[in-house]
């Protein structure tokens, strides 16, 4: 009985949340494609999140990213500018921006966890095929600065129809 | 079908009883707030463990006191000290009329949310304990809560430990946080862990002054908050940027408990706690969150006054059946070591050359595959050396270096195979010894009566402690105190008291030229003619080199140190009470197995313009680790001391 009551608690809570979601589904889908505020992906890279306004001796003795982002990742916002790890164009863009250093390296290698994850976010059919294409097109998606470019990566995935990245259209 | 709807359907199918139909008709009794408050009193819910954990109330000397600091966490005025009043106010708040959630703003203060949206975990608790009929509540729309719930979409929970990082005080003892998994690890199928949400508790540091940082952190003067961000940020931060391995402990929790955890995380999101570096730190709060979600667990009671992240991992691992699986994510440093471990010299030469000059031509006889292996290693080496410069784009040369290597690697057309980087045989923090250590010794020496020594160390690990679960090249000790009792005199004195004793050994090899360093802050008895066995405060630090051989069986450290010691009556520099010392220190550890270690230490100090002109100290100890503790034989020598001790040490 104890387990069942726990399940009740869980089910109840989820039903409440789902009810909230059902009432707001229309507004949520619009917000994922065109955010209400003009917020690009650039602010979600590691560098800009970590050292936005910190400086001084703390950076010398304690240059860690622990707690990067501050308000960006506060829980009560409900949505999060940089934290939307959803299967969508914006989710793919945010992922590339936040992982651009690691993605450039995985693309050069033609395989890796960031490629598998990006392939999932973009709705591509086969992550191995995505890896092969990204490696072939490395100089396009990593034009300079040793980091993956959000626009170039998305357009490369979009334009290669054999990858069938359905989310990107 | 969205994850939350699917999970709700799965839970109902699993046999949760159907919700009771709403009572209708004018005469039908409906439970209202007052009746439920009565029922709560009759059940004594205000003293129930589940309720107390939801409000983070602890019994103090003056009654109940919640660890949550912001008034917005409580509905009742004085709720922070009164769980019963808060319970009543919560019940009443759930029944207050529905209000539209303010639109347009990213976040709103918790006070402006309806209680149903502000405290979903409390609501679930009341439904369960009071058999509250949710259909009897006002229908409240919770937009932000719904969005958070969808963002997290948690089905299981993993405890993650990022390993020790001595370069930063807030990470020196490691760090723990939770990962809320969108998939159930036992279910098979694809997992996209990078997209899971990581939830952690950290101090909100608002000062750049290192002294203020240290003082406020130790004195609990920073606020601490929970935050949630995608796991890929944590992986990039710890594994890539700081080169710290991640240990992941998949937890076995009921679906209802996972839901309660996410709901309570939402409740905690708007509130602050006092962040105490030593006690109520990240790892303590993570355990408190797990306990609230699953009241059957009893985790924080196992902790001592000083809470170290490794201790919390051990508390979780010791809870029967809680840890389902342990996984390991190697840092870039570990990946690089795995790539180069079995490389022949000619390949290592190429890796070193490429990391300096990316245009270095590969030997003509090499296959594309061999070239790819060498370029992979060179890329990891460049990321290791220039992690900060690459992320912050402060060094165009480093970026060009990486760019060239990336292009060359891509041009090989070789698809990389998954890297085989097994976890260290010494295991993760769950395999480590408890961090508190108590020692008792009997000793005697030339020209000295026999004596007894008692030693207590608050945390964590020295170079001769049992090696499982710790880095073999790190000494991190906090709060070690040694007392000496001489029965013949009789006298009881303080021998040594150290706040911090740190040593970071970086083995110099062809790729890694980072210095090793050591640091001690505390006090010890002066064992030379500088004073009459006074206890002097001491600050000592140095840098040097380390060498490691035979897979950490032989570890040697040599540093050049500077120290300052001060005590009333000390014949110090230029006649003052403070004395400067300079000189070398050497440490050698021989460990034939995980059960035995020989540790030798020798230091010599030149004491300019002081009396005596120089001093020295050395010690040799052999320690054997048994199941219940360690025994050791130690020999110490200094100008005024020549003694041997037999030790018994236990870890608590």
Per-residue tokens: B420:
């085989």
How many of the other CB atoms lie within 10 Å of CB of B106?
15
pLDDT band for position B361 (cuts 50, 70, 90) = very high
B104 vs A: CB within 8 A: yes
CB B244 within 8 A of CB B331: yes
- Residues on chain A touching B145 (C-beta within 8 angstroms): 17, 20, 78
B461 vs A: CB within 8 A: no
Q: Does the pLDDT of residue B119 top 60, yes or no? A: yes
Nearest residue of chain A to residue B125 (CA atoms):
A9
B205 vs A: CB within 8 A: yes
Asked if the Cβ–Cβ distance from B124 to A10 is below 8 Å, we say: yes
Please provide the DSSP assignment of B584-649 as one string.
EEEEEEEEEETTEEEEEEEEEEE-TTSSSSEEEEEEEEEEEE-SS-EEEEEEEEETTEEEEEEEEE
Beta strand ranges found along chain A (DSSP E): none
B592 vs A: CB within 8 A: no
Q: Does the pLDDT of residue A66 top 60, yes or no? A: no
Q: Does the pLDDT of residue A121 top 80, yes or no? A: yes
- Residues on chain A touching B254 (C-beta within 8 angstroms): 3, 6-7, 10
Asked if the Cβ–Cβ distance from B269 to A98 is below 8 Å, we say: no
Give the Cα separation of A70 and B212 in Å (integer): 20
* Packing angle of the helix pair B396-412, A100-109 (nearest 10 deg): 30
Of B151, B393, B406, the CB nearest to A104: B406
pLDDT of residue A68: 52
Please provide the DSSP assignment of B301-368 as one string.
GG--SS--HHHHHHHHHHSTTTEEEEEEE--HHHHHHHHHTT--HHHHHHHHHHHH-TTPPPPTT--H
Which DSSP symbol is given to B507?
B
Interface size between A and B, measured as CB pairs under 8 A: 306
B166 vs A: CB within 8 A: no
A51 vs B: CB within 8 A: yes
Average pLDDT on B572-587 reads 92
Give the Cα separation of B288 and B601 in Å (integer): 41
Give the Cα separation of A114 and A83 in Å (integer): 16
Per-residue tokens: B485:
């009792």
CB B473 within 8 A of CB B459: no
Q: Does the pLDDT of residue B353 top 90, yes or no? A: yes
Instruction: Single out the residue of A153, A64, A63 nearest to residue A106, CA to CA.
Output: A153
pLDDT band for position A8 (cuts 50, 70, 90) = very low
Please provide the DSSP assignment of B10-52 as one string.
HHHHTTPPPPPPPP-STTS----HHHHHHHHHHHTGGG-HHHH
User: Among the listed ranges A81-90, B164-173, B557-566, which one has the minimum average pLDDT value?
Assistant: B164-173
pLDDT band for position A85 (cuts 50, 70, 90) = confident
- Residues on chain B touching A23 (C-beta within 8 angstroms): 141
Give the Cα separation of B107 and B104 in Å (integer): 9
pLDDT of residue B229: 87
Q: What is the pTM of this model?
A: 0.86
Average pLDDT on A32-57 reads 52
Here the contacts of B596-601 (C-beta below 8 Å, separation 24 or greater) are: B596/B622, B596/B623, B596/B624, B596/B625, B597/B463, B597/B464, B597/B467, B597/B622, B597/B623, B598/B464, B598/B622, B598/B623, B599/B463, B599/B464, B599/B623
* Packing angle of the helix pair B255-269, B143-152 (nearest 10 deg): 130
Please give the share of chain A, as a percent, with pLDDT higher than 70.
Answer: 60
pLDDT of residue B204: 78
User: Among the listed ranges A73-82, A151-160, B582-591, B598-607, which one has the minimum average pLDDT value?
Assistant: A73-82
Q: Which residues contact B384 (CB under 8 A, 6 or more apart)?
A: B243, B332, B333, B336
User: Among the listed ranges B249-258, B454-463, B466-475, B630-639, which one has the minimum average pLDDT value?
Assistant: B466-475
A146 vs B: CB within 8 A: yes
The residues facing B201 across adjacent strands are: B226
pLDDT of residue B31: 60
- Residues on chain B touching A109 (C-beta within 8 angstroms): 372, 376, 409, 415-416
Q: Which residues 6-35 on chain A approach chain B with CB closer than 8 angstroms?
A: 6-21, 23-24, 27-28
Q: Does the pLDDT of residue B636 top 90, yes or no? A: yes
Q: Does the pLDDT of residue B164 top 70, yes or no? A: yes
pLDDT of residue B224: 85
* Packing angle of the helix pair B255-269, A2-33 (nearest 10 deg): 50
* Average pLDDT of chain A, as a whole number: 72
The larger pLDDT score, comparing residue B598 to residue B140, is at B598
Nearest residue of chain B to residue A144 (CA atoms):
B403
B175 vs A: CB within 8 A: yes
Of A12, A14, A70, the CB nearest to B7: A14
CB B181 within 8 A of CB B33: no
Length of chain B as a residue count: 652
pLDDT of residue B571: 87
Q: Does the pLDDT of residue B76 top 60, yes or no? A: yes
Q: Which residues 391-450 on chain B approach chain A with CB closer than 8 angstroms?
A: 391-393, 399-400, 402-403, 405-407, 409-411, 413-418
Please give the share of chain B, as a percent, with pLDDT higher than 90.
Answer: 55
pLDDT band for position B359 (cuts 50, 70, 90) = very high
Per-residue tokens: B362:
């590969």
Placement of tokens 């003009």 in the chain: A38
Domain layout of chain A by residue ranges? 95-161
Asked if the Cβ–Cβ distance from B208 to A101 is below 8 Å, we say: no
CA-based torsion, B390, B396, B399, B405: positive or negative:
negative
The larger pLDDT score, comparing residue A154 to residue B72, is at A154
Asked if the Cβ–Cβ distance from B168 to A63 is below 8 Å, we say: yes
pLDDT of residue B425: 82
Q: Does the pLDDT of residue B633 top 70, yes or no? A: yes
pLDDT of residue B106: 61
Length of chain A as a residue count: 169
Q: Does the pLDDT of residue B124 top 70, yes or no? A: yes
B240 vs A: CB within 8 A: yes
Q: Nearest-CA distance from B635 to chain A in Å?
A: 37
* Average pLDDT of chain B, as a whole number: 87
Tens-digit pLDDT profile for residues A87-118? 889 999 999 999 999 999 999 999 999 999 99
B255 vs A: CB within 8 A: yes
pLDDT of residue A16: 44
Pairing state of beta strands B222-230 and B246-251? unpaired
Asked if the Cβ–Cβ distance from A6 to B128 is below 8 Å, we say: yes
- Angstrom CA distances, B217 to B38, B206, B212, B304, B592, stand at 44, 11, 8, 19, 40
User: Among the listed ranges A121-135, B9-23, B100-114, B412-426, which one has the minimum average pLDDT value?
Assistant: B9-23
- Angstrom CA distances, B38 to A157, B35, B82, B126, B353, stand at 62, 5, 17, 13, 78
Q: Nearest-CA distance from A155 to chain B in Å?
A: 19
Here the contacts of A30-34 (C-beta below 8 Å, separation 24 or greater) are: A31/A79, A32/A84, A32/A86, A32/A88, A32/A90, A32/A91, A33/A88, A33/A89, A33/A90
A2 vs B: CB within 8 A: no
pLDDT of residue B109: 74
Domain layout of chain B by residue ranges? 3-7+30-100+111-141, 153-329, 332-412, 432-651
Q: Which residues contact B514 (CB under 8 A, 6 or more apart)?
A: B506
Angle, alpha carbons B515-B426-B242 (nearest 5°):
45
Give the Cα separation of A69 and B229 in Å (integer): 9
Instruction: Single out the residue of B638, B651, B649, B652 nearest to residue B453, CA to CA.
Output: B649
Asked if the Cβ–Cβ distance from A144 to B170 is below 8 Å, we say: no
- DSSP, collapsed to helix, strand or coil, labels residue B58 as strand
Q: Which residues 62-101 on chain A approach chain B with CB closer than 8 angstroms?
A: 62-70, 72-80, 82-86, 95, 98-99, 101
State which CATH number among 2.40.160.40, 3.40.50.1100, 3.30.1240.10, 1.10.3720.10 fits the domain covering B432-651: 2.40.160.40
Give the Cα separation of B536 and B523 in Å (integer): 5
Exposure b/e, A1-35, CB count within 10 A at least 16 = b: eeeebbbbbbbbbbbbbbbbbeebeeeeeebeeee
Of B11, B141, B228, the CB nearest to A10: B11
Per-residue tokens: B371:
């070239």
- Residues on chain A touching B384 (C-beta within 8 angstroms): none
Asked if the Cβ–Cβ distance from A65 to B237 is below 8 Å, we say: yes
Dihedral, B62, B66, B70, B75 alpha carbons, nearest 10: -100
- Residues on chain B touching A144 (C-beta within 8 angstroms): 399, 403
Q: Which residues 109-138 on chain A approach chain B with CB closer than 8 angstroms?
A: 109-114, 116-117, 120-121, 128, 131-132, 135-136, 138
SS3 assignment for B557-593: EEEEEEEEEECCCCCCHHHCCEEEEEEEEEEEEEEEE
Alpha carbon of residue B342 to chain centroid: 32
Q: Does the pLDDT of residue A18 top 70, yes or no? A: no
Q: Nearest-CA distance from A41 to chain B in Å?
A: 14
Asked if the Cβ–Cβ distance from A79 to B144 is below 8 Å, we say: yes
Asked if the Cβ–Cβ distance from A47 to B148 is below 8 Å, we say: no
Asked if the Cβ–Cβ distance from B146 to A24 is below 8 Å, we say: yes
- DSSP, collapsed to helix, strand or coil, labels residue B439 as strand
- Residues on chain B touching A86 (C-beta within 8 angstroms): 151
CB B174 within 8 A of CB B429: yes
Q: Which residues 147-166 on chain A approach chain B with CB closer than 8 angstroms?
A: none
Q: Does the pLDDT of residue B272 top 50, yes or no? A: yes
Of A24, A68, A145, the CB nearest to B237: A68
Of A51, A77, A135, the CB nearest to B107: A77
CB B142 within 8 A of CB A22: no
Chain B interface disruption, residue of A63, A67, A81, most B CBs within 10 A: A67
B519 vs A: CB within 8 A: no
The residues facing B519 across adjacent strands are: B502, B541
User: Among the listed ranges A72-76, B142-146, B436-440, B624-628, which one has the minimum average pLDDT value?
Assistant: A72-76
């Amino acid at each position: 009985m104890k387990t069942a009551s726990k399940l009740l608690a869980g089910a109840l809570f989820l039903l409440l949340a789902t009810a909230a979601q059902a009432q707001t589904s229309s507004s949520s889908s619009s917000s994922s494609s065109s955010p209400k505020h003009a917020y690009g992906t650039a602010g979600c890279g590691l560098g800009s999140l970590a050292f936005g306004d910190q400086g001084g001796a703390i950076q010398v003795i304690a240059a860690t990213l622990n707690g990067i982002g501050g308000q960006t990742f506060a829980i009560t916002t409900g949505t999060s500018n940089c934290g939307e790890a959803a299967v969508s164009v914006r989710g793919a863009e945010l992922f590339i921006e936040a992982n651009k250093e690691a993605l450039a390296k995985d693309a050069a290698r033609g395989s890796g966890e960031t490629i598998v994850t990006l392939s999932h976010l973009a709705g591509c059919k086969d992550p191995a095929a995505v890896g092969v294409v990204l490696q072939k097109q490395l100089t396009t998606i990593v034009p300079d600065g040793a980091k993956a470019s959000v626009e170039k990566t998305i357009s490369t995935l979009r334009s290669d129809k054999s990858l069938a990245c359905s989310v990107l259209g | 079908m969205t994850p939350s709807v699917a999970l709700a359907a799965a839970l109902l199918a699993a046999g949760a009883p159907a919700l009771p139909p709403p009572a209708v008709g004018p005469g039908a009794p409906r439970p209202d707030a007052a009746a439920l408050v009565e029922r709560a009193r009759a059940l004594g819910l205000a003293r129930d463990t589940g309720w107390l954990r939801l409000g983070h109330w602890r019994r103090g000397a003056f009654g109940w006191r919640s660890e949550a600091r912001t008034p917005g966490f409580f509905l009742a005025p004085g709720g922070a000290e009164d769980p019963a009043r808060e319970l009543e106010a919560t019940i009443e708040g759930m029944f207050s009329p529905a209000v539209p959630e303010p639109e347009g703003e990213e976040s709103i203060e918790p006070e402006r949310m309806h209680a149903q949206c502000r405290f979903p975990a409390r609501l679930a608790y009341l439904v369960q304990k009071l058999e509250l009929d949710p259909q009897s509540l006002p229908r409240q729309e919770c937009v932000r809560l719904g969005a958070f719930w969808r963002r997290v979409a948690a089905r299981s929970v993993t405890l993650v430990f990022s390993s020790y990082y001595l370069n930063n005080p807030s990470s020196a003892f490691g760090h723990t946080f939770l990962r809320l998994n969108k998939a159930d690890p036992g279910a098979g199928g694809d997992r996209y862990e990078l997209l899971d949400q990581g939830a952690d508790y950290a101090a909100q540091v608002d000062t750049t002054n290192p002294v203020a940082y240290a003082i406020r952190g130790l004195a609990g003067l920073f606020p601490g908050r929970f935050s949630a961000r995608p796991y890929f940020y944590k992986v990039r931060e710890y594994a890539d940027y700081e080169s710290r391995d991640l240990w992941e402990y998949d937890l076995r929790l009921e679906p209802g408990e996972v839901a309660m955890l996410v709901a309570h995380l939402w409740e905690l999101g708007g509130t602050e706690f006092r962040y105490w570096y030593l006690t109520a730190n990240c790892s303590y709060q993570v355990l408190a969150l797990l306990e609230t979600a699953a009241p059957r667990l009893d985790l924080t009671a196992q902790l001592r006054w000083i809470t170290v992240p490794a201790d919390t991992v051990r508390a979780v691992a010791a809870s029967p059946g809680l840890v389902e699986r342990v996984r390991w994510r190697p840092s870039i440093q570990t990946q690089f070591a795995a790539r180069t471990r079995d490389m022949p010299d000619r390949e290592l030469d190429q890796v070193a050359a490429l990391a300096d000059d990316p245009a270095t031509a590969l030997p003509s006889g090499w296959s594309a595959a061999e070239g790819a292996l060498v370029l992979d290693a060179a890329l990891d080496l460049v990321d290791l050396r220039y992690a900060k410069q690459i992320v912050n784009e402060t060094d165009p040369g480093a970026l060009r270096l990486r760019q060239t290597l990336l292009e060359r690697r891509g041009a090989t057309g070789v698809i990389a195979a998954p890297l085989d980087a097994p976890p260290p045989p010494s295991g993760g923090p769950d395999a480590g010894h408890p961090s508190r250590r108590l020692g008792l010794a009997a000793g005697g020496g030339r020209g000295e009566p026999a004596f007894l020594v008692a030693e207590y160390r608050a945390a964590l690990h020295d170079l001769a402690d049992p090696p499982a679960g710790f880095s073999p090249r790190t000494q991190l000790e906090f709060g070690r105190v040694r007392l000496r009792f001489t029965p013949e005199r009789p006298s009881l004195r303080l021998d040594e008291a150290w706040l911090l004793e740190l040593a970071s050994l970086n083995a110099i090899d062809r790729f890694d030229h980072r210095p090793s360093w050591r640091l001690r802050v505390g006090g010890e008895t002066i064992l030379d003619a500088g004073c009459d066995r006074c206890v002097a405060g001491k600050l000592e630090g140095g840098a040097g080199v380390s060498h490691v051989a035979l897979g950490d069986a032989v570890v040697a450290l040599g540093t050049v140190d500077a120290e300052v010691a001060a005590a009333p009556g000390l014949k110090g520099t230029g006649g003052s009470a403070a004395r400067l010392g300079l000189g070398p220190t050497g440490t050698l550890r021989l460990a034939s197995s995980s059960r035995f270690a020989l540790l030798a230490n020798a230091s010599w100090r030149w004491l300019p313009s002081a009396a005596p002109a120089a001093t020295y100290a050395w010690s040799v100890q052999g320690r054997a680790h048994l199941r219940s503790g360690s025994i050791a034989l130690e020999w110490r020598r200094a100008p005024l001391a020549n003694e041997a001790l037999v030790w018994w040490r236990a870890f608590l």
